[in-house]
Amino acid sequence: MVETLLAFDDVRAGYGSAVVLDGVSFTIPEHGGLAVLGRNGVGKSTLLLTIMGYTRVGRGHIRWRGADVTRQPPHRRALAGIGWVAQEREIFPSLTVEENLTVAARGGRWNLSSIYDLFPRLAERRRNHGNQLSGGEQQMLAIARALMTNPALLLLDEPLEGLAPIVVEELTDAIRRMTKEGSNAFVLVEQHADIALSLTETVLVLERGRIVHSGTSADLLADHAALDRLVGLRLVEG
């Protein structure tokens, strides 16, 4: 039996009095990837923010390695082993690339040299400040910064959004190599459904804050009709 890393049990969450997610239950095992798909504004980012502890949870429980963390503040969850790659990347502009990587680093598989192997471009830019990077480089840095905390679970919020096709390819490769390492589980929220499904083992589809489909990524990838109905077919051209 595979140990459960994270479990949502009938969670209702949102901001202030607005409810964004409702009745959400799922589990994430120790290894492997979970894709979270759905149209814009269905609560995908909110799901990740709720895992991190940034939203208001009105009902239900969140468990991390069996312990209830529903009320735990974000920095405690990060220290417990959750790494977060925010949708807006949120690089620290007044820190250099290397400082961005080391500022919150914790020991483990990922260190500066293994990170620079994974993203050679960051090594070239190590002395640059966070605000001097291209969009693709910022995204690499955001992923690398989260990996440097050596999380047991990595949350990736639309890492390929708004990037040129060639950069998408480069990043997809890096994510694939990272997941092959198998040192951490990950959740991938992505608009590029085909890429997300090819990188993960299981998938959740959200609609208006509720889970409307869950299953294996391979099955959904093969079922074009279901994919079109659930997320609106979004395959990368050409």
Partner 1 sequence: MLPPVFGVLFDGLAYGMLLFLLSVGQSVTLGMMNFINLAHCSFGMLGGYLTVSLMSRYGWPFFATLPCAFIVAAIVSVGLERTLFRRLYRASELDQVLLTIGIVFISVAIAAYVFGTDQQPLQLPHYLRSSLTFMGIRFAVYRLILIGLALAITVALVLGLDYTRFGARVRAAVDNERMARGLGIDVDRTFAITFALGSGLAGLGGALSVEIVGLDPSFAFTYLIYVLIVVSVGGLGSISGSLAAAIVLGISDVAGKYYIPQLGAFLIYLVMISLLMWRPLGLLGKR
178 binds partner 1 (CB under 8 A): no
Which strand ranges, in their side-by-side order, compose the sheet holding 82-85?
82-85, 153-157, 185-189, 33-37, 202-207, 210-216
CB 72 within 8 A of CB 51: no
Helix and strand totals (H; E) in the chain: 10, 10
233 binds partner 1 (CB under 8 A): no
Using CB under 8 A, pick the residue from 84, 110, 119, 186 that binds partner 1.
84
Query: Cβ closer to partner 1: 106 or 208?
Result: 106
CA-to-CA dists, residue 59 to 53, 62, 78, 99, 161, angstroms? 14, 10, 22, 39, 31
57 binds partner 1 (CB under 8 A): no
| Whole-number Å distance between alpha carbons of 172 and 33 | 14
Question: Which stretch in 8-16, 99-107, 108-116, 195-203 sits in contact with partner 1 by CB under 8 A?
Answer: 99-107
Q: Which of residues 63-82 bind partner 1 (CB under 8 A)?
A: 73-75, 78-79
Helix, coil or strand: residue 157: strand
Query: Minimum distance between the CB of residue 91 and partner 1, rounded to whole angstroms?
Result: 8
Block residue for tokens 């409307």: 212
99 binds partner 1 (CB under 8 A): yes
Query: Minimum distance between the CB of residue 18 and partner 1, rounded to whole angstroms?
Result: 18
Using CB under 8 A, pick the residue from 52, 153, 154, 230 that binds partner 1.
52
Question: Which stretch in 38-46, 101-109, 158-166, 169-177 sits in contact with partner 1 by CB under 8 A?
Answer: 101-109
CA-to-CA dists, residue 181 to 118, 122, 201, angstroms? 11, 20, 15
Q: Could you give the string, one character per residue 114-153, with x where binding to partner 1 holds by CB under 8 A and - elsewhere?
A: -------------------------------xx--x----
Structure tokens at 168: 């998408």
Backbone angles phi, psi at 27, to 5 degrees: -130, 155
47 binds partner 1 (CB under 8 A): no
Query: Minimum distance between the CB of residue 96 and partner 1, rounded to whole angstroms?
Result: 9
Binding site for partner 1 (CB under 8 A): 52, 54, 73-75, 78-79, 83-84, 86, 90, 92-95, 99-100, 102-104, 106, 145-146, 149
